[in-house]
A and B are shown apart, each in its own frame.
Chain A
Amino acid sequence: GQQLNQSPQSMFIQEGEDVSMNCTSSSIFNTWLWYKQDPGEGPVLLIALYKAGELTSNGRLTAQFGITRKDSFLNISASIPSDVGIYFCAGRSSVGGSEKLVFGKGTKLTVNP
């Protein structure tokens, strides 16, 4: 089946640093979603991307829909302690006449004050 490769698996950074993570696939997607999951909570949608090349920001977060439609990137600028959590990408694609969402395995972010 379709798979998303999300990297890195984990990151340990100092407060104030910028963060980059990405998802890649061998399949084409028509939507990319980025979620954040706080410890002990469910994932919350951060950014949704619908067009190849699209660049969208949400505060200090910026995400891009790759031109090839096979990848997406999430950047966090000037990280703060509350950025700690697991970040998931998800891609939506057509499979066998229906639409399906596939999730990456997540990037666990730790921010040291």
Chain B
Amino acid sequence: DVKVTQSSRYLVKRTGEKVFLECVQDMDHENMFWYRQDPGLGLRLIYFSYDVKMKEKGDIPEGYSVSREKKERFSLILESASTNQTSMYLCASSWLVGRGPEKLFFGSGTQLSVL
């Protein structure tokens, strides 16, 4: 079974703190993704990566950055956390099929609260 592991289930941070969310997958997937999920807004793509050291902006990249130094690991960084970044963060990975992702496999999510 594919396993996508997010380092924390719950995080509480203060405004202005630098926050790291870590994600590891064990299926040698090329693609990795970070989404945030808010009630009524569904899943919104923050950043994705299709290879080591490669990254692409998603639909809402402002206030975030990412790092992918190893194929299995994709980190989401909040440079200076703000209260409007309180959300559920979901990491996902997939094989590269054709010219893009196929089925996404998700982690269990990190519920981040910024106070």
**Using a CB–CB distance below 8 Å, which chain A residues touch chain B?**
1, 31, 33, 35, 40-45, 48, 88, 90, 92, 94, 97-101, 103-106
Give 27 CB contacts A-B under 8 Å: A31-B102, A33-B104, A35-B106, A40-B108, A41-B109, A42-B4, A42-B90, A42-B106, A42-B108, A42-B109, A43-B43, A44-B106, A45-B104, A48-B103, A92-B101, A94-B100, A97-B99, A98-B100, A99-B97, A99-B98, A99-B99, A99-B101, A101-B100, A103-B42, A105-B41, A105-B42, A106-B42
Identify the closest chain B residue to A1 (Cβ): B59
Please name all residues of chain B whose beta carbon is closer than 8 Å to the beta carbon of A101 when the two chains form the complex. 100-101, 104
Please name all residues of chain B whose beta carbon is closer than 8 Å to the beta carbon of A88 when the two chains form the complex. 42-43
User: Taking the nearest CB of chain A, how far is it from the CB of B54, in angstroms?
Assistant: 13
Q: Do A33 and B101 have beta carbons less than 8 Å apart?
A: no
Please name all residues of chain B whose beta carbon is closer than 8 Å to the beta carbon of A45 when the two chains form the complex. 103-105
Please name all residues of chain B whose beta carbon is closer than 8 Å to the beta carbon of A90 when the two chains form the complex. 104
Chain B interface residue count, CB cutoff 8 Å, equals 22
Please name all residues of chain A whose beta carbon is closer than 8 Å to the beta carbon of B98 when the two chains form the complex. 99
Please name all residues of chain A whose beta carbon is closer than 8 Å to the beta carbon of B100 when the two chains form the complex. 92, 94, 98-101
Sort A-B residue pairs by CB-CB distance and give the 3 closest, nearest first: A99-B100, A105-B42, A42-B106
User: Taking the nearest CB of chain B, how far is it from the CB of A36, in angstroms?
Assistant: 11
Q: Hey, what's the 0/1 contact readout for B53-86 against A, CB within 8 Å counting as 1?
A: 0000001000000000000000000000000000
Q: How far is the CA of A40 from the CA of B106 in the complex (A)?
A: 13
20 further A-B pairs in the complex, CB-CB below 8 A; given A45-B104, A88-B43: A1-B59, A33-B103, A33-B104, A40-B108, A40-B111, A41-B108, A41-B109, A42-B107, A42-B109, A43-B106, A45-B105, A88-B42, A92-B101, A98-B100, A99-B100, A100-B100, A101-B100, A101-B104, A105-B41, A105-B42
Please name all residues of chain B whose beta carbon is closer than 8 Å to the beta carbon of A31 when the two chains form the complex. 102
Please name all residues of chain B whose beta carbon is closer than 8 Å to the beta carbon of A44 when the two chains form the complex. 106
User: Taking the nearest CB of chain B, how far is it from the CB of A97, in angstroms?
Assistant: 7
Please name all residues of chain B whose beta carbon is closer than 8 Å to the beta carbon of A100 when the two chains form the complex. 100-101
Q: How far is the CA of A50 from the CA of B48 in the complex (A)?
A: 23
